[in-house]
């Protein structure tokens, strides 16, 4: 099936209305059982031309994303990256932590006029970010959101690669924290790290040896202490080295 090519159809009317700083926002890392959830916010120049090859990051190979991310950063007016840590995911739940990461990314672009997000409306989001439009499948349809999806995916994959060096054996450099068979077997053999999301009930079931489908939301079991590589201030320091 041919991948959808994102367009500027949603940005152009806003630009015509004088809203010059239109932010596209997307997040990655909702489903994995470990690591931060990461969001990116991208403002493209009004009237810009699309970078060939940019589309929803899920439809791109790792090599394609690595090639496109620096091009997006060079052409963008502003790029912001935000994260919510494993501790915050366990305390807030993944739904609220994801929106926190999005708000942090938006706050780092240095001001904006309108926000475009992927998905459905978010309760109370406008109070934090101002006027916004939600577009279902926005990462596939909307150019600035697709750009954000590429940047966010590259940053998170590199973060998981760094964590893989600190915690070898889980295959994070390959599975990015998703519950692959390799990852599940490693959890059973070595246990959980401080970067596993203990609020995900599937992790407890994996430890118990149950063969179950992964739940995104589970009982809140608390989180282990220790230094969080994925706290937002750490991400801010890491990001220049990652990109």
* Residue spans of alpha helices (H) in 17-61: none
% of the chain with per-residue pLDDT over 90: 78
How are the residues of the chain apportioned to helix, strand and coil, as percentages rounded to the nearest 5? 45, 15, 40
What pLDDT sits at residue 230? 37
CATH number of 61's domain: 3.30.420.10
Report the number of distinct structural domains present in the chain. Answer: 1
The CB-side HSE value for 110 (13 A sphere, CA atoms) comes to: 7
> Does some domain include residue 203?
no
DSSP string, 120-174: S--TTHHHHH-SEEEETTHHHHBHHHHHHHHHHHHHHHHHHHHHHHHSTTS-HHH
> Does some domain include residue 174?
no
Range of the domain at 27: 11-155+231-242
What pLDDT sits at residue 170? 97
pLDDT tier at 27 (50, 70, 90 boundaries)? very high
> Does some domain include residue 197?
no
pLDDT tier at 223 (50, 70, 90 boundaries)? very low
Q: Tell me the β-bridge partners of 27.
A: 39
Report the SS3 class of residue 180.
coil
> Does some domain include residue 110?
yes
Q: Which of 226, 21, 178 is nearest to 109 (CA)?
A: 21
Task: Reply yes or no on whether the pLDDT at 234 is more than 80.
Answer: no
> Does some domain include residue 21?
yes
> Does some domain include residue 195?
no
Q: Among the listed ranges 91-100, 110-119, 233-242, which one has the minimum average pLDDT value? A: 233-242
């Amino acid at each position: 099936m041919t991948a959808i090519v994102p367009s500027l159809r949603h940005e152009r009317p806003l630009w015509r209305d004088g809203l010059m700083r239109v932010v596209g926002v997307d997040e990655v890392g909702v489903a994995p059982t470990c690591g931060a959830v990461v969001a990116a916010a991208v403002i493209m120049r009004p009237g810009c031309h699309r970078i060939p090859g940019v589309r929803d990051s899920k439809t791109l190979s790792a090599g394609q994303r690595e090639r496109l991310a620096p091009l997006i950063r060079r052409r963008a007016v502003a790029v912001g990256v935000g994260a919510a840590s494993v501790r915050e995911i366990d305390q807030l739940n993944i739904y609220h932590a994801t929106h926190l990461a999005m708000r942090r990314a938006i706050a780092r672009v240095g001001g904006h006029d309108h926000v475009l997000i992927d998905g459905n409306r978010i309760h109370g989001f406008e109070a934090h970010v101002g006027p916004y439009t939600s577009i279902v499948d926005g990462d596939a349809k909307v150019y600035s959101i697709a750009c954000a999806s590429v940047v966010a995916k590259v940053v998170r994959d590199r973060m998981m690669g760094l964590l893989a060096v600190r915690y070898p054996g889980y295959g994070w450099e390959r599975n990015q924290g998703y519950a692959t068979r390799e990852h599940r077997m490693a959890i059973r053999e070595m246990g959980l790290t401080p970067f596993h999301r203990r609020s995900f009930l599937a992790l407890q079931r994996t430890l118990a040896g149950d063969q179950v489908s992964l739940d995104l939301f589970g009982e809140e079991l608390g989180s282990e202490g220790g230094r969080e590589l994925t706290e937002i201030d750490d991400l801010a320091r890491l990001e220049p080295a990652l990109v």
